[in-house]
Amino acid sequence: MDIDQSIQESLAGFETLWRRVTGRERAVQRQGTETPAPRFREEETLQALIREEQWAAAWNAAFARQFQGGGRAVLLAQAREARSRAGRLRGEYFICTGLSCAPKAACPPVSGRMTALRTAMLRQERLAQDYAQAAAQTAVPALRALYQDYA
């Protein structure tokens, strides 16, 4: 039975990834039979974006506690979206590096509704700029598409 071309293309890097996950790549590198893979360039960018999305999720959840009804529902939905984006970024980080990235979640203090909203708005604007900049700088097409989608 022939494997469809698209399936073959999607599995092209699987063996390398699986060697990293199982630790066999490090063992092969120690033996000197294979050159070490270069450090993933976008590692720091992904880590920073994951931290920001986790902050946004924690902040929206904490701020939602100050509201009732529709405002609360909107903030909780935004928290879910931020957690989803952070999870997707963590998945991309794992695929690219073979390592897990789970920074400790920080629960930011929420004081004064107007000040808190302004802080959140400024951070969201900066995060959108960070995504746009990361999209422009990455050499990985899948990450570029993800960053552009989140910008």
As a whole number of angstroms, the distance between CA 124 and CA 151 comes to 10
Q: What is the pLDDT of residues 49-97, one digit of tens each?
A: 999 999 999 999 988 988 889 989 999 999 999 999 999 999 999 988 8
Q: What is the mean pLDDT of the chain?
A: 81
Decide if 95 contacts 107 (C-beta within 8 A).
no
As a whole number of angstroms, the distance between CA 11 and CA 5 comes to 10
Which pTM value belongs to this model? 0.71
Kindly report the backbone phi and psi dihedral angles of residue 107, in degrees, each rounded to the nearest multiple of 5, phi listed first. -100, 100
Least confident window among 14-23, 61-70, 115-124:
14-23
pLDDT classification of 40: cutoffs 50, 70, 90: low
| CA nearest to 43, candidates 137, 129, 106 | 137
Amino acid of residue 114: M
